[in-house]
Amino acid sequence: MSAIQFTGEKLLHMKIFNRNLLLIVLAMLATLPVRAQEEAEKPETVYRRSSLYPILLETKPVFSDQSEAELNAIVMKAYDEAPFPEKYNDHRLSEVSFKFKDYSSISAEELQKEEEDSGKKKNGRKIDQKYLEAINKYLEEKDVARRMVAKWFNRKDDGSFDMSMIHDRGAYNASAMEVQLASGSIRGMAAIKDAGEELIKNTFVVVNRMRFVKNEPIARATRDVAIENAKNTIDNQLAQMAAIKTAEIAYNAAKDGYSVWNVAYLYQLEWNDEIADKFYMDMWMDSTSIDPERKAIFDNTDIFKLNYVGFQKAKSLVLLGIGKKPEEILTVATVRNIDRVYVKLQKEYDVFKTKTPILSTDPIIAKIGMKEGVEGGDKFDVLEMVWDEKTGLTRYDKVGSVKVKKKDIWDNRYVLDVDDTKLENGDEEKEIKGTIFKGGGRKVMAGMLLRQVK
């Protein structure tokens, strides 16, 4: 075979190969709009959520009377089985609760007495401080911050780490990160720094303190004070009788059932460049480079901390005996009150605010509703997640703003054994996917994120 013949056959094969390659590339390109459309329909699966570890602070039974032991069991079961907030990644550790008496210098009896007198604002702050002291002691003794970092990097018994959770929650290239770490090139690794800022830094602990209080004693005390004031300050007999009658009416309206109180204390995992450098330089190792010294450094370090952000309180009325089973009433009240206090934390503290992806733009719909405290007229910024080439970090650019349409708010509050898919006349009800917003402008696209304006 001549060289010319060989070259000619080679060129022919190359042409066929290039033609086939072109057809493959065109076929792949043809599928991109479909895949893009599929991603647009499910944007909530790819956005980066904050991570959350909720835990219950037990001070005493949520119902104080021994006769209400059954109700206590219902509430605790409801708390244990409550749906995890879907706007957060689940970062729970093994413990789900701890007892106040195990981490406080004050007894439960003394605390109860102080709580009964906590109507005064000054004494109320003193009570809150007692709870914070117990929470801080628990978090420190249980080494919660270090264990939360260990969970982020999927730490094994031999002390090795990997980036699998970083990959799953942030869509980063985990293997590339590990290669960079193995090479020793710590500084300047933009993706690793971005993961710290976007994911690890946005890790929270919420400690819930909950109790149910009978309304009747409080309503009675309020009535008695009002009547006593009426007798001592109103001379006109008719006016005095009217004031007393008003007090009795108010008592009858408020005396039934219970009030559920929930206080939530918010903590944030501290993560910055200094902590990250120490972790990667002194403690990081993968399964191929086990080092007992590095393992010991991580086991004994105290650089990981949880910083206290603040607290919020929520209260709601619970009426038993209104045609539904106590289990359903108490379960719904428990879960909804927890949701309510999360909403208050989000509105008060920007760092705890969630982002919600836009599902569609005609109209603008997002999976957020009454459970998240959405009300008509609420304002939200529309954010686009972009990659900053200069810094190598992710940033969120505001591209518009929207408002909630008053009559189109999604009722996604927790319910039990309720079939929302059918109307009374038997007709199928159209599935509601979320709350409808107005405004935004042309730049708003499905997959962008909404964040509520304070």
> Digits of tens for pLDDT over the chain (454 positions)?
444 343 344 434 444 444 443 333 333 333 333 333 444 444 444 689 999 999 999 887 777 676 777 888 888 888 888 899 989 999 999 999 999 989 988 766 676 666 666 555 555 577 788 899 999 999 999 999 999 999 999 999 999 999 999 999 988 888 888 887 777 665 457 788 889 999 999 999 999 998 887 777 778 888 989 999 989 999 898 998 999 999 898 888 777 778 888 999 999 999 999 999 999 999 999 999 999 999 999 999 999 999 999 999 998 888 776 677 888 888 888 899 999 999 999 999 999 999 999 999 989 999 999 999 999 999 999 999 998 888 878 899 999 999 999 989 999 898 875 443 333 333 344 455 799 999 988 889 999 999 999 7
Are residue 252 and residue 303 in the same domain, yes or no? Answer: yes
Q: Give the pLDDT of residue 123.
A: 55
Query: What pLDDT is stored for residue 23 in this prediction?
Result: 36
- Nearest Cα neighbor of 211 from 94, 283, 118, 343 is 118
Q: Provide the number of structural domains found in the chain.
A: 2
Cα separation, 436 vs 361, whole angstroms = 9
313 near 262, Cβ under 8 Å? yes
**The residue to which tokens 């006109």 are assigned:** 236
Output the pLDDT for position 36.
38
Nearest CA-CA partner of 261 in 373, 134, 115: 115
In which domain, by residue range, is 298 found?
50-349
From residue 180, how far is each of 100, 188, 275, 366, 432 by CA, in Å? 45, 10, 18, 38, 46
Domain boundary among 321, 349, 377: 349
DSSP lists the bridge partners of residue 89 as: 51
| C-alpha–C-alpha distance, residues 449 and 444, integer Å | 9
408 and 342 share one domain: no
Q: Are residues 148 and 272 in the same domain?
A: yes
List the alpha helices (DSSP H) in 59-183: 69-81, 108-116, 121-141, 144-152, 164-170, 174-183
Task: Note whether 341 and 412 are same-domain residues.
Answer: no
CB of 258 closer than 8 Å to CB of 212: yes
Is the same domain home to 83 and 58?
yes
What CA–CA distance (Å, rounded) separates 13 from 3?
15
Spatial distance between the Cα atoms of 363 and 368, rounded to a whole number of angstroms: 15
Backbone angles phi, psi at 247, to 5 degrees: -65, -40
Whether cis (ω within 30° of 0) applies to the bond prior to 363 is: yes
- pLDDT recorded at residue 138: 97
420 & 299 share domain: no
In-domain check, residue 17: no
- 342 in the same domain as 361: no
Residues 183 and 323 in one domain: yes
Q: What pLDDT, on the 0 to 100 scale, is given for residue 316?
A: 82
Examine the domain organization and report whether 360 and 258 are in the same domain. Answer: no
Predicted local confidence at residue 434, as pLDDT: 92
Residue 29 within any structural domain of the chain: no
Please indicate, yes or no, whether residues 160 and 184 belong to a single structural domain of this protein.
yes
Q: What's residue 319's pLDDT?
A: 78
Identify the domain boundary among 349, 382, 412.
Answer: 349
